[in-house]
Amino acid sequence: MQKITPFLWFDGRAEEAAKFYTSIFRKSKVLNVARYGKAAEQASGRPQGSVMTVEFQLAGQNFVALNGGRQFKFTEAVSFVVNCKTQREVDYYWKKLSAGGKEVQCGWLKDRYGVSWQIVPTILGELLGGKDAAKGERVMQALLKMVKLDIQKLKQAYGSTDRASGKRRRL
Protein backbone atom coordinates (compact mmCIF):
# COMPACT_ATOMS: atom_id res chain seq x y z
CA MET A 1 0.00 0.00 0.00
CA GLN A 2 1.31 3.46 -0.86
CA LYS A 3 1.92 5.80 2.04
CA ILE A 4 -0.04 8.79 0.69
CA THR A 5 -3.21 8.55 -1.40
CA PRO A 6 -4.97 11.52 -3.01
CA PHE A 7 -8.58 11.69 -1.77
CA LEU A 8 -11.04 13.52 -4.03
CA TRP A 9 -14.42 14.84 -2.86
CA PHE A 10 -17.24 14.68 -5.42
CA ASP A 11 -20.91 15.54 -5.28
CA GLY A 12 -22.47 12.26 -6.41
CA ARG A 13 -20.23 11.59 -9.43
CA ALA A 14 -17.28 9.74 -7.85
CA GLU A 15 -17.84 6.46 -9.70
CA GLU A 16 -18.43 8.23 -13.02
CA ALA A 17 -15.23 10.26 -12.55
CA ALA A 18 -13.17 7.19 -11.61
CA LYS A 19 -14.38 5.37 -14.73
CA PHE A 20 -13.61 8.44 -16.85
CA TYR A 21 -10.07 8.76 -15.50
CA THR A 22 -9.31 5.02 -15.75
CA SER A 23 -10.41 5.07 -19.39
CA ILE A 24 -7.73 7.68 -20.17
CA PHE A 25 -4.59 6.42 -18.42
CA ARG A 26 -2.79 3.14 -19.10
CA LYS A 27 -2.26 0.76 -16.18
CA SER A 28 -5.44 2.07 -14.57
CA LYS A 29 -8.45 0.39 -13.02
CA VAL A 30 -11.23 0.69 -10.50
CA LEU A 31 -10.15 -1.29 -7.44
CA ASN A 32 -13.13 -1.16 -5.11
CA VAL A 33 -16.52 0.49 -4.71
CA ALA A 34 -17.95 0.96 -1.20
CA ARG A 35 -21.59 1.88 -0.68
CA TYR A 36 -23.35 3.86 2.03
CA GLY A 37 -24.86 1.62 4.68
CA LYS A 38 -27.53 2.47 7.19
CA ALA A 39 -25.19 4.17 9.69
CA ALA A 40 -23.38 6.15 6.98
CA GLU A 41 -26.71 7.16 5.44
CA GLN A 42 -27.79 8.71 8.73
CA ALA A 43 -24.47 10.50 9.24
CA SER A 44 -24.12 11.78 5.67
CA GLY A 45 -27.64 12.12 4.37
CA ARG A 46 -26.63 10.09 1.30
CA PRO A 47 -29.03 7.26 0.29
CA GLN A 48 -28.29 3.78 1.60
CA GLY A 49 -26.82 1.64 -1.20
CA SER A 50 -25.48 4.61 -3.18
CA VAL A 51 -21.77 4.84 -3.95
CA MET A 52 -19.77 6.20 -1.02
CA THR A 53 -16.15 5.73 -2.13
CA VAL A 54 -14.36 4.44 -5.20
CA GLU A 55 -10.78 3.28 -4.94
CA PHE A 56 -9.04 3.47 -8.28
CA GLN A 57 -5.60 3.49 -9.80
CA LEU A 58 -4.21 5.80 -12.49
CA ALA A 59 -0.90 4.77 -14.04
CA GLY A 60 -0.12 2.79 -10.88
CA GLN A 61 -1.02 5.67 -8.48
CA ASN A 62 -3.89 4.94 -6.08
CA PHE A 63 -6.70 7.44 -5.53
CA VAL A 64 -9.94 7.47 -3.56
CA ALA A 65 -13.04 9.32 -4.72
CA LEU A 66 -15.82 10.12 -2.23
CA ASN A 67 -19.40 11.12 -2.90
CA GLY A 68 -19.45 13.58 -0.04
CA GLY A 69 -21.91 16.24 -1.07
CA ARG A 70 -21.93 19.83 -2.27
CA GLN A 71 -20.17 21.56 0.60
CA PHE A 72 -16.63 21.31 -0.88
CA LYS A 73 -15.47 22.16 -4.39
CA PHE A 74 -12.24 21.59 -6.27
CA THR A 75 -9.96 24.58 -6.76
CA GLU A 76 -6.76 25.23 -8.67
CA ALA A 77 -4.93 25.17 -5.34
CA VAL A 78 -4.49 21.43 -5.94
CA SER A 79 -3.81 19.95 -9.35
CA PHE A 80 -2.40 16.82 -10.90
CA VAL A 81 0.56 17.02 -13.26
CA VAL A 82 0.68 14.63 -16.21
CA ASN A 83 4.30 14.39 -17.40
CA CYS A 84 4.47 13.80 -21.16
CA LYS A 85 7.53 12.80 -23.18
CA THR A 86 6.10 13.71 -26.59
CA GLN A 87 3.74 16.21 -28.19
CA ARG A 88 1.53 13.28 -29.10
CA GLU A 89 1.14 12.50 -25.38
CA VAL A 90 0.47 16.17 -24.58
CA ASP A 91 -2.21 16.27 -27.29
CA TYR A 92 -3.81 12.99 -26.15
CA TYR A 93 -4.12 13.88 -22.47
CA TRP A 94 -5.16 17.44 -23.27
CA LYS A 95 -7.97 16.30 -25.55
CA LYS A 96 -9.23 13.58 -23.19
CA LEU A 97 -9.08 15.51 -19.92
CA SER A 98 -10.38 18.82 -21.28
CA ALA A 99 -13.41 17.20 -22.97
CA GLY A 100 -16.45 18.74 -21.29
CA GLY A 101 -14.18 20.85 -19.09
CA LYS A 102 -12.30 24.10 -19.53
CA GLU A 103 -8.93 24.87 -21.11
CA VAL A 104 -7.12 27.42 -19.00
CA GLN A 105 -3.53 28.60 -19.67
CA CYS A 106 0.09 27.44 -19.54
CA GLY A 107 -0.82 23.75 -19.82
CA TRP A 108 -3.56 23.91 -17.18
CA LEU A 109 -7.09 22.64 -17.68
CA LYS A 110 -10.10 21.89 -15.55
CA ASP A 111 -11.86 18.61 -16.36
CA ARG A 112 -15.63 18.08 -16.48
CA TYR A 113 -15.66 17.36 -12.72
CA GLY A 114 -13.76 20.51 -11.78
CA VAL A 115 -10.41 18.81 -11.09
CA SER A 116 -7.38 20.81 -12.26
CA TRP A 117 -4.67 19.15 -14.36
CA GLN A 118 -1.37 20.31 -15.77
CA ILE A 119 -0.34 18.61 -19.01
CA VAL A 120 3.41 19.19 -19.06
CA PRO A 121 6.21 18.06 -21.39
CA THR A 122 9.00 16.44 -19.38
CA ILE A 123 11.55 18.61 -21.19
CA LEU A 124 10.03 21.79 -19.72
CA GLY A 125 12.16 21.73 -16.56
CA GLU A 126 15.32 21.47 -18.63
CA LEU A 127 14.19 24.32 -20.89
CA LEU A 128 13.33 26.60 -17.96
CA GLY A 129 16.31 25.69 -15.80
CA GLY A 130 19.98 25.73 -16.49
CA LYS A 131 22.74 28.29 -16.32
CA ASP A 132 21.53 30.53 -19.14
CA ALA A 133 18.75 32.60 -17.58
CA ALA A 134 17.96 34.32 -20.91
CA LYS A 135 17.00 30.98 -22.46
CA GLY A 136 14.73 30.16 -19.55
CA GLU A 137 13.16 33.60 -19.77
CA ARG A 138 12.41 33.14 -23.50
CA VAL A 139 10.81 29.78 -22.79
CA MET A 140 8.69 31.27 -20.01
CA GLN A 141 7.56 34.12 -22.28
CA ALA A 142 6.51 31.57 -24.92
CA LEU A 143 4.80 29.36 -22.33
CA LEU A 144 2.76 32.26 -20.96
CA LYS A 145 1.21 32.80 -24.40
CA MET A 146 0.09 29.17 -24.68
CA VAL A 147 -2.99 27.35 -23.51
CA LYS A 148 -1.98 23.78 -24.45
CA LEU A 149 1.80 23.51 -24.38
CA ASP A 150 3.64 23.04 -27.67
CA ILE A 151 7.03 21.34 -27.28
CA GLN A 152 8.36 22.54 -30.63
CA LYS A 153 7.52 26.18 -29.89
CA LEU A 154 9.10 25.89 -26.44
CA LYS A 155 12.27 24.44 -27.98
CA GLN A 156 12.28 27.21 -30.59
CA ALA A 157 12.05 29.81 -27.83
CA TYR A 158 14.95 28.15 -26.04
CA GLY A 159 17.05 28.13 -29.18
CA SER A 160 16.17 31.64 -30.34
CA THR A 161 18.88 33.87 -31.72
CA ASP A 162 21.21 35.30 -29.12
CA ARG A 163 20.86 39.02 -29.81
CA ALA A 164 24.34 39.86 -28.56
CA SER A 165 26.19 37.38 -30.77
CA GLY A 166 23.61 36.93 -33.55
CA LYS A 167 24.11 33.15 -33.33
CA ARG A 168 21.27 30.68 -33.33
CA ARG A 169 21.29 28.40 -30.28
CA ARG A 170 19.88 24.90 -30.17
CA LEU A 171 18.90 22.56 -27.39
> Rounded to an integer, what distance in angstroms lies between the CA atom of residue 134 and that of residue 93?
30
Kindly report, residue by residue over 9-57, the tens digit of the pLDDT: 999 999 999 999 999 999 999 999 999 999 988 888 899 999 999 999 9
The class (CATH top level) of 74-171 is alpha beta
At the second CATH level, the architecture of 1-72 is Roll (3.10)
Output the pTM of the full model. 0.89
119: left (phi over 0), alpha (psi -120 to 50) or beta: beta
Kindly report, residue by residue over 84-143, the tens digit of the pLDDT: 999 999 999 999 999 999 999 999 999 999 999 999 999 999 999 978 999 999 999 999
Fold matches, 1-72 and 74-171: yes
* Domain locations along the chain: 1-72, 74-171
